[in-house]
Amino acid sequence: MAEIVVKDTNFDAEVLGSDIPVLVDFWAAWCGPCRMFAPVISAIAEKYEGRLKVCKIDVDEAMSTAEKYMISSIPAVKFFKGGEVVNESLGFVPQANLEKIIEEII
């Protein structure tokens, strides 16, 4: 399962309404570290398919959601469970660090 692209219009349904934990990658096309981080996010989506939903949200296309979650630097990752943020990470993070967080919430 590939990452799901979310926008302001489907964020609530895809993320807050999910019955499994969700990793949300806040990013932008112009962000170099975000592009470097993309393969890590893809690997996570593949490894945890069925146990974790992985969503990508372009902060330039979903400013309302980015503002709601106080995204001021990217890449930023927020982990949601039961519609609530349960953990977060800022900047480029090694895959092993993300997996440690994921293992605690799934």
Enzyme catalytic residues? 31, 34
CA distance 77 to 2: 17
Residue 98, CA distances (Å) to 4, 26, 62, 91 in order? 18, 14, 24, 12
- DSSP state at residue 31: -
